[in-house]
Chains A and B, each alone.
Chain A
Amino acid sequence: MQPDSSTGLNGKGQDLKIVSLISIGQHPASGRARRAEQDGRAVELGMTLAASSSTQNLTVLHAGDSQQAALRSYAGMGLESVRVLQLRESADAVKTLSEYLHKHAPDIILTGVRAESGESSGMMPYLLGESLGWPVVSRIADIVSIKEGVAEILQALPRGQRRALTVRLPFIASVDNAAPEPRQSAFGPANRAFMEQQQCHSEPDTARNGWSIVSARKRPKRLKIVKAKTAADRFKAATAKPQGAGGKIMKNQPAAEQAQAIFDLLLEEGVLR
């Protein structure tokens, strides 16, 4: 974020209101609940935006159980409170959240791209966008500036590339892993933060009832398909050494020739632009 005199305003002369939505993450190796990587980045981005405005107008919002210990790891980033819309596990969070957000009308809503637990379809920002009628910016890496109600955003593309976008407030953005890493969660503030619990009406997510959920099976690696016309071909394909078992070694050639070989490979791979 570039500090800018108008950055903290939403274009109508009011202070920027930011909501970062958080969920309960899950560690890939241990399966233990934790701060979700992308949601943590959403909070980090929200905190950076809020810090550049005069008033600290960031709400960190969770729909679920306020007793979840993992929520504290978000609070440990230095939040005084986390607002929790108290829901049962089976409830559909989208409706509750969109009602809440409709009522509070923030300027920017930040979410992760995909949750680390539950269905993790990544639909949340889009559903909210559809129900609020706001534009959705997916996979953002940073919000560069907000001027006169228009935000300039960097969207993360694969391989570290970035695309610049502008969008008028209010909008919803999902925060990519390319966004700045969330700050460390400290035990002291985490322990002291206030869980601002809010009871709310919710409907159960009945569509899930028919689902069966098991821990992920390892997907078989796709075999190299050999369309062999004869038995001999099939035999050859099954017994042949995999390609690339040994690389090419250039030992005694002159340096120019060696360099040319490297250059050719780089060109062939298309990494020289």
Chain B
Amino acid sequence: MSDDHYSEILRRDPRAERIARNRLHALHVAVSVGGQATEVRGPSGLLRKNPHTVGFTGPNGIKRIDRLKGNAVAIKNGRRNAPGSQEALLPLHVIAEPAFTIVVVPDMVGGRLTAHDKDVLGQAHKLARAIEADSNETGVVMVVAFGVCKEENFDKAGVDRLLLLDSAEYEGYCPEQQIAALAQVEVRFKPKYWLFPDSVHGGTDLGSRLAARLGERPVAQAWQVDTKISICRGAGGSVDITRATPRLLMLAEECANPIDESRHEVLPVAWESIPVVSPQLLDKGQVAVDPNAIPLAEAEFILSAGNGINNWDQFHTIAAALGATEGASRVAVDDGYMPRFRQVGASGTWVTARVYLAVGISGAIQHMQGIGQCDKVVTINTDAGCDMVKRADLSVIGDSETVLGELLSLIEMFRQQPHQSQNSVSNSVKNAVENGAKEGAENAA
């Protein structure tokens, strides 16, 4: 049984109950009014409503019913040992004998479902519902996942069946082996639909390969799909093509809403061995890329320097220590401290970094245009009123050299620690997945 079941056990606090019953008790007001006022656990454990505490007295002395239904301010009391917030258990979607299968091959970046994957799963269920409505047959959504898996929440993402292929031959980049497996899936399950996320993380590649293998003409960049027609982007995203929905779809991001109101079984699919192909493409592993060799427009983490930098050696050192790609404001480039191709802004490069750390940049309008797509902006600046501080998620007002110095020593400390946390995490995740699968199996039985 999962942890959830333990949290269901009631822990009564007889003292609090006693005080709540005794109106003359010194602490009565604190416990009953300030406490869980409207609903009280009776001695038998049943929920009891206390009509005296429902509502409040309005400004003109009339009693009013509180329609916030306890949503106003979370009041913690009663169950002292209750876990912080209790998630409601979503209904479990069970399909014992599926009439058809829709296969989703998610990207599983880092072993976890991406937001894009979840959208595709949502789309898969939308299609399954549509077929159900048409033919009264129920089907399942099956996920084929390759490689090491760290995902815990397959059930909440809408995975009815899971085919996890994580043996050695599926490690790294192995499209040929993956296609061999998918071809087997095709033979065995004859999926109603094949769904792939149309993404740079591999979904497009795999989908296209399978389409070529199966001789299907897929839709790519599809963003509105039902069982009859699909609308997909064409001509480099400049047109919408409306066409009959094929069997293999490569779906754009946000094609459908992810599943959020049901749990699914995540039944593991039993699988006889798949022939191991001898691949022509050999993965030699990811190449260590010098952060400064990454094009500025693509870089994930940029450390950008402006007019406020005095110690350039320190700046370069810290960029190297952080593993950040270097950027610069126009002034820093004009003054010759940085090469022109490092310039961020309207007249330089438009960047898409997830984290943009701007040091000594006040934020001219052209520069702000250039960082418009950045997720998190952090700035170290002397002027608290400048535009960069207004834009930043975290602003540090102070001397950049001192702050950078402190940051550098923090990073050095961080680098010295051997961090093994990742391994331990992945183990626990794996256990959790197994547990989830077992539970699903039990429920199905």
A residues apposed to B, CB below 8 Å: 25-26, 28, 31, 114-123, 126-127, 129-130, 135-139, 152, 154-155, 157-168, 171, 178, 207, 210-217, 219, 222, 225, 227, 229-233, 244, 247-252, 255-256, 258-263, 265-267, 269, 271-273
Contact = CB atoms under 8 A, between A and B. Distances in A.
A26 B286 contact: no
Contact of B289 (A118, A162, A211): A162
22 contacts: A26-B238, A28-B238, A120-B234, A123-B208, A137-B281, A138-B175, A152-B284, A160-B325, A164-B283, A214-B242, A215-B239, A222-B254, A229-B69, A244-B393, A248-B393, A249-B384, A250-B394, A260-B410, A261-B396, A262-B357, A263-B410, A266-B357
B30 interface: no
A115 B241 CA distance: 15
B233 interface: yes
B55 interface: no
A119 to B, nearest CB: 5
Contacts of A207: 217
Interface of B: 67-69, 71, 173, 175-176, 200-201, 204-205, 208-209, 211-213, 217-221, 223, 233-244, 250, 254, 257, 260-261, 280-287, 289, 293-295, 298-301, 322-325, 354-355, 357, 375-378, 380, 384, 389, 391-399, 402-407, 410-411, 414
Contact of B239 (A129, A213, A262): A213
B406 A258 contact: yes
A212 B242 contact: yes
A206 to B, nearest CB: 11
Which A-B residue pairs are the 9 nearest by beta carbons?
A: A160-B294, A259-B406, A164-B284, A116-B236, A126-B212, A271-B301, A130-B212, A121-B220, A135-B280
Contacts of A255: 398-399, 402-403, 405-406
Nearest to B109: A158
A230 B68 CA distance: 7
A155 B173 contact: yes
Contacts of B173: 155, 163, 165
B208 A259 contact: no
Contacts of A231: 67
A116 B235 contact: yes
Nearest to B200: A158
A119 B239 CA distance: 9
B212 A261 contact: no
A225 B393 CA distance: 23
B243 A210 contact: yes
A211 B231 CA distance: 10
Contacts of A115: 235-236
Contact of A262 (B219, B281, B286, B396): B396
A260 B299 CA distance: 23
Nearest to B392: A247
A178 to B, nearest CB: 7
B257 A225 contact: yes
A249 B239 contact: no
B374 to A, nearest CB: 11
Contacts, number: 244
Contacts of B234: 118-121, 213
B240 A214 contact: yes
Nearest to A252: B397
Contacts of A215: 238-240
B240 A162 contact: no
Most chain B CB inside 10 Å of its own CB: which residue of A122, A152, A255: A255
A163 B283 contact: yes
A178 B354 contact: no
Contacts of B238: 26, 28, 31, 215-216
Contact of A28 (B204, B211, B237): B237
B237 A216 contact: yes
B251 to A, nearest CB: 13
A156 to B, nearest CB: 8
Contact of B213 (A31, A130, A248, A259): A130
Nearest to A117: B235
Contacts of A259: 396, 403-407, 410
Nearest to A246: B390
Contacts of A266: 301, 322, 355, 357, 378
Given A115-B235, A262-B394, 16 more contacts: A31-B238, A114-B236, A120-B237, A123-B220, A126-B208, A157-B200, A215-B239, A227-B261, A247-B377, A247-B395, A249-B389, A266-B378, A269-B355, A269-B375, A271-B323, A273-B323
Contact of B71 (A210, A222, A230): A230
A123 B200 contact: no
A138 B221 CA distance: 17
Contact of B285 (A139, A163, A272): A163
Most chain A CB inside 10 Å of its own CB: which residue of B69, B237, B293, B407: B407
Nearest to B395: A249
A120 B250 CA distance: 12
B281 A256 contact: no
A159 B410 contact: no
B378 A262 contact: yes
Contacts of B398: 255, 258
B397 A249 contact: yes
A214 B236 contact: no
Given A222-B254, A247-B395, A123 B280 contact: no
Contacts of A161: 286-287, 289, 294
Contact of A135 (B201, B281, B287): B281
Nearest to A225: B257
A117 B389 CA distance: 42
A178 B289 CA distance: 13
Most chain A CB inside 10 Å of its own CB: which residue of B217, B323, B414: B217
Contact of A251 (B175, B242, B294, B384): B384
A166 B287 CA distance: 13
A249 B394 CA distance: 6
Contacts of B377: 247
B397 A251 contact: yes
B411 A263 contact: yes
Contacts of B200: 139, 157-158
B68 to A, nearest CB: 6
Contacts of B283: 163-165
